[in-house]
Structure 1
Amino acid sequence: MRSNWLYSQRIAPYVFVLPFVLSLAVFFLYPMASTLLMSFQEVLPGQTHFVGWSNYESMADDDSFYAALWNSTRYTLWTLLVLIPLPLVLAVLLNSARMRWSSFFRSALFVPTLTSVVVAGIVFRLVFGSLDDSVMNQIRHLFGLHTINWMGGSATGMLVLVVLATWRFVGINIVYFLSALQTIPGELYESAEIDGANTWHKFKSITLPLLKPVAIYVLTISIYGGYSMFTESFMLWNGNRSPNDIGLTMIGLLYRNGVEQNNLGLGSAIGVALLGTMMILNLVALQFFGLFKKEE
């Protein structure tokens, strides 16, 4: 009887899916439900009680919340503008048969992805330091320009964050696009050449449409990565307290309230707001690319 149950064709699919369902319930659904519940509570050591919408009202009245939301949104926008077109173009070049040393460049561009974000943050903080002997200020001095406190201004601080993100993640996005490019049949390009299509026409009419699924995936994870950024900012400003909160992110605000100030209820409310923001943006992006349209 037991043997028949194990080898049942009706039950076997559920057995294979069960580990994923359990993992989803334990590591995603349960924490999400707990966070949503705590956002309506005041959580104290050994006791909790409901406070209604007080945490959300406190969040809405806090100027730091809007600063963090603006910083995270701006960072996400800039990373989308850089980390989708740039890896796409580089992937097309690396996939070309005319490209020499292609394997070397692929490995070199992917290495930063393997680097610890903590180490990378420390190195970039030294490179973009405010002192005259920092690397970037030394380069500016070669052109007769004055010293800049890179981490002291909102624009320059955001520039450093985007440069760090580009250095770390352009390689992994190249891998995504390369994997998709290598699945495009060569016969399509040969047929296009016979019809007189040039390089640009082949790229626009063949490459881009067939890369759409991967581009949507990269867009989705980039939105998530942009709004969940914390360690880079923490390391660049050597803590969670940047001048006038120019480096404060949504995760940084959550950390400040939930961990540093031990206000888990307010921290949970910030987390729920962050989750809602990312879900809305991703749904808008998917709707824009037509993923919810019915196929005719």
Structure 2
Amino acid sequence: MNKLKKVLNSQKVAPYVFVLPFILVFLIFWLYPLANSFIMSFQERLLGQAPKWKGFDNYTKLLTDKVFLKAVENSVVYMVWTLILLIPFPMIFACLINSKLMWGREFFKSAFFLPALTSVVVAGTIFRLIFGEMPGSLMNSILSHFGMGPFKYLKDQTLSRIALLTLACWRWTGVNMLYFLSGLKGIDQEYYEAAAIDGASSLQAFKSITMPLLKPTTIYVVTISIYAGLAMFTESFMLFNGNNSPKNIGLTIVGYLYRQGIEKNKLGYAATVGIVLLVVAMTINLIQLALTGMFKKEES
């Protein structure tokens, strides 16, 4: 027992002991399922039946599957718009809240973050009622005062995307804002004081100081937003009250994976969708990381 304690307390072994839980979780809950899914993607897997090897047939079929391509289009459009809306606006809100002139700072931080604590199921249900097609729904009631509507939001491609993006902005603006707030806390105030002495305006200080020094935080938020946009499922599922939206206007890549794997019991084909989603998400993220210079070595 004493020998075991000595080994665990040694400087060479102790670091591996602390890292071991992460390694085990990584191997059991990420690497093994990923390897198994990769193998399944080359098979025809049905519950209760022996797997049949199909080679690249699943991938060939997927690339010509119009429904899958529609799901990819929906997910990519959603991802792009979330980047457009959920990067600059949370950054601006963070700068406003971080300003010395801001009053009620803690109240606004709590108010912005509160939606993130709400269940997606509850939020999706509420927004489905808000964007209902009946004249008495909240959005149609508001627009009726301007002589517009009623609209069938969840039966139109453009209007349904607006509803989905509204839900995304309501839910995730506060989360991204807190990321930027944490980044702002790491910026030395002396930079702003020096800029003020030199006569720089607030806009010039934001452009020359805040944005460059927030680059690591911005890249992180962009990275997780790309993955979150492509992997979005629950919001769409709840907003459209299921996985079968009119003409697949709300179908996402993960929704298509769910349809094939859970609803149709085509586990091999669903695994193919998952592998393609992983490759697409990683490719986009690696490209944006390369373009932002994250792989370049800093000059000493």
Query: Are 2:169 and 1:163 equivalent residues in the alignment?
Result: no
- Using the size of structure 1 for normalisation, the TM-score is 0.98
Q: Distance in 2 between matches of 1:108 and 1:295?
A: 39
Q: Percent identity?
A: 50
Match of 1:108 in 2: 111
Equivalent of residue 75 in structure 1, options 69, 75, 78: 78
Match of 2:262 in 1: 259
Match of 1:272 in 2: 275
Q: Distance in 2 between matches of 1:123 and 1:146?
A: 20
Structure 1 ranges of 4+ moved more than 4 A = none
Residues 125 and 237 in structure 1, CA contact (< 8 A), matched pair in contact too? yes
Equivalent of residue 7 in structure 2, options 5, 8, 31: 5
Match of 1:294 in 2: 297
Equivalent of residue 285 in structure 1, options 266, 284, 288: 288
SS of corresponding position for 2:44: strand
- RMSD of aligned alpha carbons: 0.9
Greater mean alpha carbon deviation, residues 25-34 or residues 3-12: 3-12
Q: Deviations over 1:105-163 (max 9, x none)?
A: 11111100000010011100101001111111111110111210001110000010100
One-letter amino acid of the structure 1 residue matched with residue 141 of structure 2: Q
Match of 1:15 in 2: 17
- Using the size of structure 2 for normalisation, the TM-score is 0.97
Alignment of 1:116-127 (within 5 A): 116-127=119-130
Residues 76 and 223 in structure 1, CA contact (< 8 A), matched pair in contact too? yes
Match of 1:62 in 2: 65
Match of 1:53 in 2: 56
Q: Distance in 2 between matches of 1:40 and 1:281?
A: 24
Q: Distance in 2 between matches of 1:90 and 1:295?
A: 31
The answer for unaligned runs of 5 or more in structure 1 is: none
Q: Distance in 2 between matches of 1:148 and 1:60?
A: 34
SS of corresponding position for 2:227: helix
Match of 1:28 in 2: 30
The answer for unaligned runs of 5 or more in structure 2 is: none
C-alpha displacement at 1:46, in angstroms? 4.0
Match of 1:231 in 2: 234
SS of corresponding position for 2:45: strand
One-letter amino acid of the structure 2 residue matched with residue 267 of structure 1: A
SS of corresponding position for 2:51: strand
C-alpha displacement at 1:102, in angstroms? 1.3
One-letter amino acid of the structure 1 residue matched with residue 34 of structure 2: M
One-letter amino acid of the structure 1 residue matched with residue 86 of structure 2: L
Q: Deviations over 1:38-74 (max 9, x none)?
A: 0001112141121101111221221101000000000
Q: Distance in 2 between matches of 1:295 and 1:100?
A: 39
Q: Distance in 2 between matches of 1:2 and 1:295?
A: 43
C-alpha displacement at 1:11, in angstroms? 1.1
Query: Are 2:175 and 1:172 equivalent residues in the alignment?
Result: yes
SS of corresponding position for 1:87: helix
Equivalent of residue 197 in structure 1, options 197, 200, 207: 200
C-alpha displacement at 1:4, in angstroms? 2.4
Alignment of 1:144-163 (within 5 A): 144-163=147-166
Residues 192 and 202 in structure 1, CA contact (< 8 A), matched pair in contact too? yes
Equivalent of residue 37 in structure 1, options 17, 36, 39: 39
